[in-house]
């Protein structure tokens, strides 16, 4: 997939999406990926918000993301994109969707963990106002890699909203989101 503008459709994740999601999980995380059961359980979790991203022209599932919303805080559990669609702003579209959903639901703060070696993801999160506030030592089971703990400030503060709107306009120039 090249980086020309294309249309991404983001829908609530459905059970019928999980087989395709597991393929992306395996490509992204090798043998240390979530199981089908984990995703089925998340779909019945009242705190969870999970989304599937599709290439609208082909209908192919190309990414997914999830978060838990607990009172005024959300925790992003995962964002993964099919390797054929990386660098096409699919991950950014999914992150944007999660932040927008948090805004719609009155969530004030968003947190996540990310591998210290995952520079593209860290750069994306920083672009959206996340800051590193610590490290979880040996967080990742497959290689004992550390994770950065990243948080936003209150997403209803003007500083965050201005940044979010700026990124929204830039994103419109790279991908159409349905």
Q: Is there a catalytic annotation at residue 128?
A: no
Catalytic residue among 113, 140, 145, 153: 113
Q: How far apart (Å, rounded) are the C-alpha atoms in residues 163 and 107?
A: 17
In contact, 160 and 153? CB cutoff 8 Å: yes
| Catalytic annotation, pick one of 109, 125, 140, 153 | 125
How far apart CA 101 and CA 108 sit, in angstroms, is: 11
Q: Is 139 a catalytic residue?
A: no
- Active centre residues (catalytic): 113, 125
């Amino acid at each position: 997939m090249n980086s020309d503008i294309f249309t991404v459709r983001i829908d609530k994740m459905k059970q019928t999406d999980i087989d395709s999601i597991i393929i992306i999980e395996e490509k992204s995380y090798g043998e240390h990926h979530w199981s089908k059961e984990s995703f089925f359980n998340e779909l019945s979790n009242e705190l969870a918000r999970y989304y599937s991203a599709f290439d609208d022209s082909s209908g192919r599932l190309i990414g997914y993301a999830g978060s838990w919303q607990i009172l005024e805080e959300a925790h992003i559990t995962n964002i993964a994109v099919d390797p054929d669609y990386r660098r096409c702003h699919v991950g950014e579209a999914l992150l944007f969707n999660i932040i927008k959903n948090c805004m719609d639901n009155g969530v004030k703060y968003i947190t996540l963990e990310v591998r210290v070696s995952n520079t593209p993801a860290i750069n994306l999160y920083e672009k959206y106002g996340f800051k590193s506030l610590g490290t979880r030592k040996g967080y990742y089971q497959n290689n004992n890699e550390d994770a950065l703990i990243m948080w936003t400030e209150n997403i209803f503060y003007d500083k965050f909203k201005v940044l979010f709107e700026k990124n929204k306009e830039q994103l419109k120039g790279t991908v159409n989101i349905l």
